[in-house]
């Protein structure tokens, strides 16, 4: 997951010719940590957002935001739907 930070830093450097702000580097690191927690939680199989949130210790609303963002960028995908209407998500691929 740390490759994401390095790639983002390299892209920023290429486009701007300067070192990215420390805040940007820290933000990318935090996003990569959350991505790792979510993908690790899904290694055992597809889970709903409430199940993922409980497992990683994050609020459901914030977990939903990250899961749906990762769906948008093709990292995760919905696999099935529960009787209660929740989708189960899995790592894409």
Q: 34-70 pLDDT, tens per residue?
A: 999 999 999 999 999 999 999 999 999 999 999 999 9
Domain layout of the chain by residue ranges: 2-91
Looking at the chain, the whole-number percentage of residues with pLDDT higher than 90 is: 70
pLDDT in tens, 19-39: 888 898 899 899 999 999 999
> What pTM value is reported for the model?
0.82
Residue with tokens 């983002």: 8
Q: Where are the beta strands (DSSP E) in 26-81?
A: 76-81
What does the alpha-carbon distance between residue 93 and residue 86 come to, in Å, rounded to a whole number? 21
Query: Domain 2-91, what fold?
Result: Arc Repressor Mutant, subunit A (1.10.10)
**Tokens describing residue 85:** 């209407």
Q: What residues form DSSP beta bridges with 89?
A: 47, 78
């Amino acid at each position: 997951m740390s490759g994401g930070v390095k790639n983002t830093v390299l892209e920023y450097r290429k486009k701007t010719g300067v070192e990215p702000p420390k805040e940007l580097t820290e933000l990318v690191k935090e996003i990569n940590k959350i991505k790792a927690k979510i993908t690790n939680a899904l290694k055992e199989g597809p889970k709903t957002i409430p199940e993922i949130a409980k497992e990683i210790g994050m609020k459901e609303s914030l977990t939903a935001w990250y899961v749906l963002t990762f769906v948008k960028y093709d990292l995760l995908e919905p696999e099935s739907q529960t009787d209660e209407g929740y989708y189960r998500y899995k790592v894409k691929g």
